Each structure stands twice: as C-alpha cells, then as structure tokens.
Amino acid sequence: MIAKVKCYALSGLEGVPVEVETDVNKGVPSYDMVGLPDAAVKESKERVRSALKNSGLLFPMNRITINFAPADLKKEGAAFDLAVAISLLKASEQLVGADMGGTVFLGELALNGDLRPINGLLPILISAKSHGYSRFVIPAGNRSEARFLGGAEIYPAENLTAVVRHLLGVSPIEPLETAEYVPHAGAKTSANLKYVKGQPLARRALEIAVAGGHNLLMVGPPGTGKTMLARCLPTIMPDLTFEEALEITKIHSVAGVLGEEGIVTERPFRTPHHTATTVSMCGGGNKVVHPGEISLAHGGVLFLDELPEYKRSTLEALRQPLEDGKITVSRAGGTFTFPARFMLCASMNPCPCGNYGSSERTCSCTPAEIRRYRKKISGPLLDRIDLQVEVDDVAYDELTSTGEQEHSEPVKERVEGARRIQRNRFGEYGIVTNAEMGERELAQFCMLDREGNDILRAAFERMHLSARARARIIKVARTIADLDGCEEIRPKHVFEAVSYRIFDQM
Amino acid sequence: MTAEERAYLWLCGCTSLGDRDRAALLRAADPAEILLHAETIFPAVLSGEHEIPPYDRRMHDADAFLKMLAAKHYFALTPFSEDYPEPLRHISLPPLVLYGLGRRELIRGRKFCVVGSRTIPPWAEKAGRDIAERLAEKFVIVTGLAEGGDSAAIAGALGSGNLISVLPCGLDCCYPAAHASLKEKIAERGLLISELPPWEEAKKYSFHARNRLLAGLSEGVFVLAAATKSGALITANCALEYGRDVFAFPYSPNVRQGEGCNELIKCGAYLVTGAEDIFSVYGIEAGEKKEIALSGEEREVLAFLKESGQAHPAAIAERTGKKIFEVTAILSALEIKGAAVKAGGNQYSAAE
C-alpha cells in the first residue's frame, strides 16, 4: 500500500511543500530512500525505526521505499522524521481510519519517540498557510513560536505515541490557542536613556537618527558611553507592528536564535564582534544558507563597535544592503534573498590613541597615523551614514551626579510623532522614512528657500564639505523639521544638520 | 641659457657632490671653467675620488636635463638669473639652483613666511587661515606643504594665489603624499619651489635645509604654532640668523603646541593676534576688516564664547536658557559665517 504525507522543507525564508510517499511491498526486507535526501534526512531511517519500536508500534519487516517529492529539490535537516514515521505507519496499515487529509507533519524524532523542536517553524507555517494548508502537527517545543499564527489548527505533540493516539481519535490533542501579540512582552533590555549621564548632543543625534531612519556614527574617546548610548536605540524606536514582528521572527526562527517567548516583540540589537567574517555578516553557508547578522538586525539596530577594526571587505559588503534593505546570497545550491533593513549605528575613536580633540588629555598620534586610521572607513560607506556626532568626554562629576536625565519614553513619543508626519507624507511613494528619500522625493519635499541654499553654499565653502554631503544634510534637516513639527525646512534646521557632518571636516 | 648656468645645472646634477663640495668648487673657479676643466679642478679642490665624465657628455647631460625640465614646465633659477631672489644671496649656503613650477612672477613679490607645526589646535588653525588670507593681500605667503600650520597658511592664501610653497623634496615628488592634489592646486594658482633635483625624495635632513629657504626668502617669519622642539622653531632660528623679523601667535600656558611660540615672544618676537599686527611693523595700511552680519542670538552666544574662551553647547544652553539643539544650530551658523570654530570634544571657541 502506498501512503502520502505532507511535510515542508525550508528554502531561505520560504517553506516548500514536500510529499513523503511510502510504499510497503512483500519481499526481502529492505529500507530505501529516494528523492535527493541529504545525510541528515537519510539518517532518519534509524531514528524512525527506533522511535517506532520504542513507542510500541510495529516496524514493517518488508520491502520499504520512501520517496520525497518533488524529486529535484534537495532535502535537508531532520524536520521530515515525523512525516516519514506517519507515512510508514499508514502504509503498513497501522493508522486505519485516521483522518490525515490536508495535515502537515513537522518534527524531528528522538530514539525514544519524543518530538524535538525544529528551526524555521514559523516561516514554514506561514508559507503552508498561504498554500492552503490549515492543519499542522508540530513538536510541543515549538509551541510558543506557532501560537501567533491565527486561522489554523495547530496540534503540538510531545511524542510519536501522542500523535498516533490523536490521529486515531483515542485522545485528541487540544489545538493551540492563538495568542495576542503584545509589543515588549517579556522585555529583556534594561537599557534606558535615563541611565546615560550627560551627552546632550549625542542624545539629540540618537533622537534624530531614529526619527528619520538615518544611520549614525559616534566618535569619541574610549569609555565615554558610546556602547551604552547605542543600546538605548531600540528603546526609542517605534513599537514593532505584528507584521514586522512576524517577519523578524521568521528570520530568527530560521537562524535558530529565537528565544523562549516564541515571537520577537522587541527590536533586535545585534553587535557582531569586529572579527566577524563577511559571510557571518551577510549570510551564507555551504548547503543550508543561513541569514547573517544584518538580516538578524532587520527591523532593529546593527551596532558596529570600533568601526575601523572591522575588515574592509566586510564593511564594504554592507553598502548594497544599506541601500536596498535586503541581501541576496548566491551559492551553488541556490539564490536566497533575506530582508536586511536595519539601522546602522557605528562607533569609533577619533584616532588610534583615542585622545584626539580631547581637552583633558593629549593625543600622541601623528597626523599621518590619524589619517591612516580614518582611511580604513571608505568614503562610500561614510556617505551612507547621515549623522556623525562627537561623544563628549564625561567628567567624573557628571558620572557620579544623581541629576535626573530624560527617560527613553518621552523621546520615543517625539520619534513616533515625527514618524507619523513622514508616513502621511510618503504614503504613496513606497518609502517610510526621510533617510530613504531619493532625488524625486528630495525635489518634492525638501525645497530650500534662498536663505537655506545660501547657508548650504557658505557651509560648503567654509567647511570644505564633500559634494555628496549635500543630499545627506538636506535629509537630516528634513527630519529635524519634522521633529519640530515644521512644514518647511527653516535655516535653523539646516544649521543644525550641518553640525552633524563632523567627518567631512576632519 | 649661458655657459655658467649650464655649469650650475650640471654641478647640481652631480649627485655625488654635497652642498659644501659645490661651494668649495665654486670658490676655486668660475662655473664655466669647472665645466671645461673638471678633470683638473675636481682633484685639486675635493678630497676623495670622483668619476668625472668627459666634457661632451657634460654638455649633453646639461642639455638633456634642460629639455626634461621644459617638458614638465619646470623652470630653473640660478644666481645668474635675473629673478633669482636677492635675499637668498645673503644667506649661508644659498641654493645653486631653484626649481620652480607655477607662476614664476611671484618670486619677485614681497614675501612673508607663515609656518606652524603639524599638530595645531583648530582655533589656531582658523586664526592662521584668516591671518594668511589678509596677509596675502599685500604679501606673497611663503610656507611648506605639510599638515597643520602649513595647511592653514595655504588655505588662507590659495584663494588669492599669492602663495609660494617650498618643498622638502624634488618637484616630481610630494611630501606628505596625501597632499598630492593640494600640490597640484598650488602649482596651478601659486608657485612651487624646490632646490633639489626633481627626482629627489624627501630625506630627514632636507626639512632642515628647506626651512632655511623659507626664512631666507621672506622679510619676516610668522610662527603659528610650535612645541618646544619643532621645525617651525628651526625656521624662526634661521630667520634670526639672517636678520629677518620673527612674529609669533600667543598661547595660554598649558597648550603644548604653543610653548615654542610663547618662548619666542619672551625672547622678543612680535606678538601677533591679527594681520594688522604684522602690517603695522612694515608700515602697511591694512585694508578694512570685513564685518560679519550676525543676528541677535548669534551675537549673544558669541559674546559668551569670547567671555569663556572655550565652551560646550551644554554650558551655553544653561547660560542662555535655550534648548541644546537650538544652541547647536546657532553655533553651526557662527561657524559657517566664520565667527566661531569647533575644537574637538564638541568644544567651541570664538574666532575673531
């Protein structure tokens, strides 16, 4: 008898339907698998055999052929175990009368019959739902992740026996209740702007950067709280909407970094170390293509501490994703596109010794050393960082002061106000923030009056700004005006925007 | 080109000779004689072995060299040239040849030297730029090509083109290499000068030799910034030796880059805070200083900056009761208008 059971494979962030067909024939006992299974899939043979035996079920001593369709798709991982076991049971007539039509089986088996959680469950469920499937049997360990998919019957099972008893109707499993999405449920971060001492200029830069979706570079001596400031960025960003949260969760699920709560409710904050390779940053891998740090930072912040220490090639690889908001990874096994719309926040010292420009300490670097240090960051990358701010050397008195600092919450409110203005403005243009504006939008929404143009011209002559800094300054000025609730860009907005281009002058 | 000049060029091209060797040769005989009878004059004057090519080769070498110079638009000045700078004749070891690229006529103008060490506080750089800009109305500014003080002088004088930059290397080379495009700009609008053959790279000792030219060419030397041990001080010492005037920019006592300047002032150098101070020494009527148009709140912030010397926007915000980002905008406006300058660590100071 031939049995067919539905399962899903993962390709990038998309689920691909796979049918597990099992044929049990009379003949010399054998057990074959066809249909491009990789090593982990082939090994499911032994896991399934043991799991069946240890669950008190029968492993048929016949000629068994298992086929994975479509045959041309490479199957990887252990997520097919449950489907193989169920199809074997059905083909050997141990599941007579069970209703399995339209059910998708997902899960890895342990030798004792327990179901182990799998990576990438949520993207599979989302794809399968869009393909018209509405009943799923999943490992109980994936319960928290699957809770948020509404409009489907999802049965979390502890082990193979429970699945069989459920299918036979002996003891049905309770379907999962759809959970309500609450932003910041079980918030992990303890960062808050109230803990940051002083730094009024950097605070303002943070606010502008988040309000307009600009990238940010903080330059300052070591130990001045650059990292702490950066950690506060997610706390002043707008809450994740459910759609955003689902998208981020999909990526984190595929990468296997999803936490206990099952859905990402906070904006991600990723801090890859400067030894990170280009592949770990952008995504890749030999057979299975994993999303990289920039995709894990999707919807949140990618924080690069000590920017000049990163490998040049790694930094240059960020340029295209910074423009497009996605990364396409091409390997022999296929081409995968991962979303990567993140806010880049970087920090660096002003010079190798860290004291350049400090009023307290003396810098011991020669001009050539400083030039070499700064040259490690290419112009094109710097060009994509709209805001550059110097972080103050905090005096000891300020560190120990107990004076009240502004909390993250009011800042977040102002940011949300500015974002609302931008949403209304860009409604039909397919962009969300000022930072994404192209030439067309710049011409339409950022007309400077004569005074504004004169200021910019004077600024260029005085401060030796590069020509490409112009568009950046105007975008930042637009955001500052939005924060101010101002329809047109006033001279004071332009002036302030100019002060955030320190690198063009250095 | 006369036989003497040819001889000079050839002598300078003899890389086995040092400056002192050349001077000794020239004391012993006429340049034209040296070119003709090098085989006998060299051994008589110089100790050591020197390989001396036959006369034909010598003439040929000098001609080929001249052709090469012409092809690169370089010109060469020797003491026989009409426009060889007169003041240089009176220094010790005047250069036998000066190679130049750019506006040759600048060499005849009144020259004034502005130098400063390579690391220099931003406000001093700004002041240097402004002073050089105003000086360039009456003088041709003479300086080097390095960062810091030299760059400030170049930035100030390049606009009018009244600028001579003396290189520590040959005209083909560029030191520091990062200033290659700046060097090109100077060649276009001002004048580049070097006493070394075009192919010569900068050596440790060539800076010292170059500094003597800076002082030698100029009527006076203005030191914008100098630590206790600095190339700018070498230039100032040369200036004293040659009887030129020395001027210095004053610093507050704890600024390392200003220790040398303060020392110079103690020893009697003119204290300079603006171009007028230099003009008055030479009895030159200074042109009217341009007034900067400022708004009310800009004037308020500028007054506070002048009062406190250097200030952080937060301190200004506290004093004036404005929001910090409003203060940043005002400071940025002052900076663009040239009335304030930003130092490191978000500190601002007035620049007038």
Give the pLDDT mean for B20-46. Answer: 85
Is residue A503 less than 8 Å (CB to CB) from chain B?
Answer: no
Interchain proximity B346–A390, CB inside 8 Å: yes
Interchain proximity B324–A204, CB inside 8 Å: yes
* Residue B352 binned pLDDT confidence (cut-offs 50, 70, 90): low
Per-residue pLDDT, A453: 86
Per-residue pLDDT, A187: 66
Closest-CA distance of chain B to residue A444, Å = 25
* Residue B293 binned pLDDT confidence (cut-offs 50, 70, 90): confident
**Residue B55 confidence (pLDDT) above 70:** yes
Domain boundaries, chain B: 3-71, 104-281, 296-350
Express as a percent the part of chain B with pLDDT over 70: 99
Nearest to A200 among B324, B329, B332 (CB): B324
Kindly report the CATH class assigned to B104-281.
alpha beta
A350 to chain B: nearest residue by CA? Answer: B344
Per-residue pLDDT, A87: 93
Which amino acid belongs to residue A504?
D
CA distance A310 to A381: 13
Task: Using an 8 Å CB-CB cutoff, list chain A residues near B344.
Answer: 350, 356-359, 390
Same structural domain, A278 and A364? yes
**Residue A59 confidence (pLDDT) above 70:** yes
Give the pLDDT mean for A331-348. Answer: 90
Nearest to A495 among B256, B332, B344 (CB): B332
Same structural domain, A129 and A27? yes
Is residue B337 less than 8 Å (CB to CB) from chain A?
Answer: yes
State whether residue A262 is helix, strand or coil: coil
Q: What residue has token string 């040759």?
A: B104
Q: Does any domain span residue A316?
A: yes
Same structural domain, A314 and A459? no
Same structural domain, A325 and A442? no
Task: Using an 8 Å CB-CB cutoff, list chain A residues near B346.
Answer: 201, 390, 392
Mutate to test the interface with B, among A196, A495, A506 (most CBs of B within 10 A): A495
B329 to chain A: nearest residue by CA? Answer: A496
Same structural domain, A353 and A244? yes
- Give the Cβ contact number of residue B190 at 10 Å: 25
Strands A108-109 vs A115-116: parallel, antiparallel or unpaired:
antiparallel
Kindly report the CATH class assigned to B296-350.
mainly alpha
Interchain proximity A198–B256, CB inside 8 Å: no
Task: Using an 8 Å CB-CB cutoff, list chain A residues near B345.
Answer: 357-359, 390, 392-393
Same structural domain, A461 and A396? no
Task: Using an 8 Å CB-CB cutoff, list chain A residues near B333.
Answer: 455, 491-492, 495
Is residue A402 less than 8 Å (CB to CB) from chain B?
Answer: no
Is residue A364 less than 8 Å (CB to CB) from chain B?
Answer: no
Interchain proximity B329–A390, CB inside 8 Å: no
Closest-CA distance of chain B to residue A278, Å = 30
Nearest to B343 among A198, A201, A357 (CB): A357
Burial class (CB in 10 A: 0-12, 13-18, 19+), A333: middle
Same structural domain, A401 and A441? no
- pTM across the whole model: 0.81
Task: Using an 8 Å CB-CB cutoff, list chain A residues near B118.
Answer: 366-367
Nearest to A499 among B176, B328, B345 (CB): B328
Containing domain of residue A121, as a range?
2-167
Interchain proximity B329–A492, CB inside 8 Å: yes
Nearest to B344 among A350, A480, A499 (CB): A350
Give the pLDDT mean for A29-34. Answer: 90
Express as a percent the part of chain A with pLDDT over 70: 96
Same structural domain, A277 and A163? no
CB A198 within 8 A of CB A392: yes
CB pairs under 8 A between A and B: 81
Cα dihedral A74→A78→A80→A85 (10° resolution): 140
Same structural domain, A378 and A452? no
Task: Produce one character per residue of B6-42: b if its CB has 16 or more CB atoms within 10 Å, e if not.
Answer: bbbbbbbebeebeeebbeebbeebebebbbbebeebb
Per-residue pLDDT, B28: 87
Per-residue pLDDT, A194: 87
Structure ipTM: 0.80
What lies within 8 Å, CB to CB, of A227 at 6+ separation is A303, A305, A347
Task: Using an 8 Å CB-CB cutoff, list chain B residues near A457.
Answer: none
Same structural domain, A224 and A342? yes
Interchain proximity B344–A356, CB inside 8 Å: yes
Q: What share of chain B is helix, strand, coil (3-state, %, to 5)?
A: 50, 10, 40
Task: Using an 8 Å CB-CB cutoff, list chain A residues near B178.
Answer: 368, 371
Closest-CA distance of chain B to residue A206, Å = 12
Per-residue pLDDT, A397: 59
Interchain proximity B333–A495, CB inside 8 Å: yes
Q: Which of A43-57, A277-291, B322-336 has the lowest mean pLDDT?
A: A277-291
Interchain proximity A357–B330, CB inside 8 Å: no
Is residue B293 less than 8 Å (CB to CB) from chain A?
Answer: no
Mutate to test the interface with A, among B290, B332, B335, B342 (most CBs of A within 10 A): B332
Is residue B336 less than 8 Å (CB to CB) from chain A?
Answer: yes
CB B123 within 8 A of CB B214: no
Same structural domain, A27 and A112? yes
Closest-CA distance of chain A to residue B328, Å = 6
Interchain proximity A367–B147, CB inside 8 Å: yes
Task: Using an 8 Å CB-CB cutoff, list chain A residues near B147.
Answer: 367
Q: Which of residues 438-467 of A touch B (CB under 8 A)?
A: 455, 458-459, 462-463
Q: Does any domain span residue A380?
A: yes
Cα dihedral A73→A77→A82→A84 (10° resolution): 50
Task: Using an 8 Å CB-CB cutoff, list chain B residues near A454.
Answer: none
Nearest to A359 among B176, B256, B345 (CB): B345
Per-residue pLDDT, B39: 85
B148 to chain A: nearest residue by CA? Answer: A367
Greater confidence (B42 vs A395) lies with B42
Mean pLDDT of chain A: 88
CA distance A169 to A178: 23
- Which parts of A172-315 are beta strand (E)? 216-219, 269-270, 283-284, 290-291, 301-304
Nearest to A371 among B178, B333, B346 (CB): B178
CB A277 within 8 A of CB A293: no
What is the tens place of the pLDDT at every residue in B164-223? 999 999 999 998 888 999 999 999 999 999 999 898 899 998 999 999 999 999 999 999
**Residue A158 confidence (pLDDT) above 90:** yes
Same structural domain, A249 and A285? yes
CA distance A208 to A478: 10
Interchain proximity A496–B312, CB inside 8 Å: no
Number of H helices, E strands in chain A: 23, 18
Per-residue pLDDT, A414: 94
Q: Does any domain span residue A188?
A: no
* CATH at A366: 3.40.50.300
Per-residue pLDDT, A504: 65
* CATH at A121: 3.30.230.10
Mutate to test the interface with A, among B328, B330, B331, B334 (most CBs of A within 10 A): B328
Express as a percent the part of chain A with pLDDT over 90: 47
Q: Which of A149-158, A484-493, B117-126, B342-351 has the lowest mean pLDDT?
A: B342-351
Nearest Cα neighbor of B225 from B200, B259, B201 is B259
* Residue A67 binned pLDDT confidence (cut-offs 50, 70, 90): very high
A92's tokens: 């050997």
* Residue A396 binned pLDDT confidence (cut-offs 50, 70, 90): low
B315 to chain A: nearest residue by CA? Answer: A200
Give the pLDDT mean for B299-313. Answer: 89
Nearest to A368 among B176, B342, B345 (CB): B176
Strands B75-77 vs B98-102: parallel, antiparallel or unpaired:
antiparallel
Mutate to test the interface with B, among A196, A199, A201, A473 (most CBs of B within 10 A): A201
Give the pLDDT mean for A129-147. Answer: 92
What is the tens place of the pLDDT at every residue in A216-259? 999 988 888 899 999 999 999 999 988 899 899 999 988 888 87
Per-residue pLDDT, A470: 83
Give the pLDDT mean for B118-129. Answer: 89
State whether residue A24 is helix, strand or coil: strand
* Residue A401 binned pLDDT confidence (cut-offs 50, 70, 90): low
CB B109 within 8 A of CB B140: yes
> How many domains, chain A?
3
What lies within 8 Å, CB to CB, of B114 at 6+ separation is B128, B131, B132, B135, B141, B142, B143, B149, B152, B153, B156, B157, B221, B222, B224
CA distance A289 to A284: 5
Q: Does any domain span residue A419?
A: no
**Residue A399 confidence (pLDDT) above 60:** no
Q: Does any domain span residue A219?
A: yes
Q: Does any domain span residue A425?
A: no
Interchain proximity A499–B332, CB inside 8 Å: yes
What is the tens place of the pLDDT at every residue in A163-187? 999 999 899 999 998 888 888 765 6
